[in-house]
Structure 1
């Protein structure tokens, strides 16, 4: 089932996509402040219920060097234990790639977990969960790039988390006083569907960084509504 959903994405409401893309564009601008970051991609996932089953679903296309990229990947479903986003979903913490002295050291630790051309893989990953009022994961910001140790910088991660808290405050206020023709229609929690799992050994949790959290938003499903 999960494999079929991955290959056959299901639509995400345009309003939900537009709700997160400007924020991701701001994160992208911050990350590129000091120049080009090779292979940088940023997107957002949400926790969804499909026929009673719980998955993570890609909310929008990637923001990449070429602009908005990978529209065909919008709506893909992932098991809730899928790699770094699954690890972030599982314990509600920020996850990233550890610091390595060089690329060879990173690849040496990856060889047992990943087959194929390791140079084709990103060398830095980041996953930031957005928690709901009951500490459930509502959204997960995902980013990767080919610059070694890019997300191993605590200050960089803390700034993205601070920006994410601002997004939480915005949507909490919109939950109380929504736009006339826009609503966040609730999603019920599904029974979590797991897959092969497999967070790479090069990734680490950051329990000292408090993830962003909503006080009013339990799920993320913005759609146009009758005024």
Structure 2
């Protein structure tokens, strides 16, 4: 059930947040340009382990427009199987809301999916377009998950828009591999998170709304975890 998920915040290193915020700002700018004034939220989650349990942690605040920032915060923890993010992690595929002929049809499916996943949200409180992109590490494990939601109807049914986002994600991977391999910023270091190979439960995704997007997921060549911190050397 949604209200039983652990959402207590756990501190996120400043270096980790700084490593994603410029990228997310660029993604948000691209998506907002086609949102026709509707609300958009963009954030990134990392996969982490605590006491032999795997979690998704929201790395930073949501970026975007038209939503109440006071209700969301960095550091929130969710079980790995939570929602569309959990499905993207487990399947290592990109997922988006499928195209609908009418908003009423979408809302009927959304209401049924909210009920099936035990969500306390109403249809009126929920976004209507969703996108989740997993980032796979050099060891084959999912490291990060980009999450976007929008109140614009059929926002992510635009293949060109989603593919542009995918190209941005691949560029983000190349940049982080460069930071990992060449260490051009001496005070920014990525530290390992060694616990791996946990088996998640069944994802609580919206099975009626979501479909996979046929594209290769972004992959890192060197990076195996996402735990950047500022150091003195």
Q: TM-score, normalised by structure 1?
A: 0.91
Alpha-carbon offset, residue 159 of structure 1: 0.3
| CA deviation after TM superposition for structure 1 residue 69, in Å | 3.5
Unaligned runs of 5+ residues in structure 1 are none
Give the TM-score normalised by the residue count of structure 2.
0.88
Gaps of 5+ in 2: 116-120
Aligned partner of 2:19 in structure 1 is 19
1:203 corresponds to which of 200, 206, 210: 210
Give the counterpart of 1:185 among 163, 180, 191. 191
| Segment of structure 1 superposing worse, 43-52 or 62-71 | 62-71
Q: Following TM superposition, by how much is the alpha carbon of 1:50 offset from its aligned partner in structure 2, in angstroms?
A: 1.3
Within 5 Å, which residues of 2 pair with 1:160-171?
A: 160-171=165-176
Q: In the TM superposition, what is the alpha-carbon distance from 1:38 to its structure 2 partner?
A: 1.2
2:138 counterpart (126, 133, 138): 133
Q: Secondary structure at the match of 2:45?
A: strand
Can you list the C-alpha shifts for 1:174-225, whole angstroms capped at 9, x where unaligned? 111212111000111346374673211211112x200111000001000011
Aligned to 2:92: 92
How far did residue 78 of structure 1 move? Answer: 1.1
Structure 1 pair 93–14 and aligned structure 2 pair: CA distance change class (3 A):
same
Instruction: For 1:48 and 1:70, locate their aligned partners in 2 and report how far apart those are by CA, in whole Å.
Output: 25
The 10-residue stretch of structure 1 (32-41 or 52-61) with the greater mean CA deviation from structure 2: 32-41
Alignment-derived partner of residue 39 in structure 1 = 39
How many residue pairs match? The answer is 225
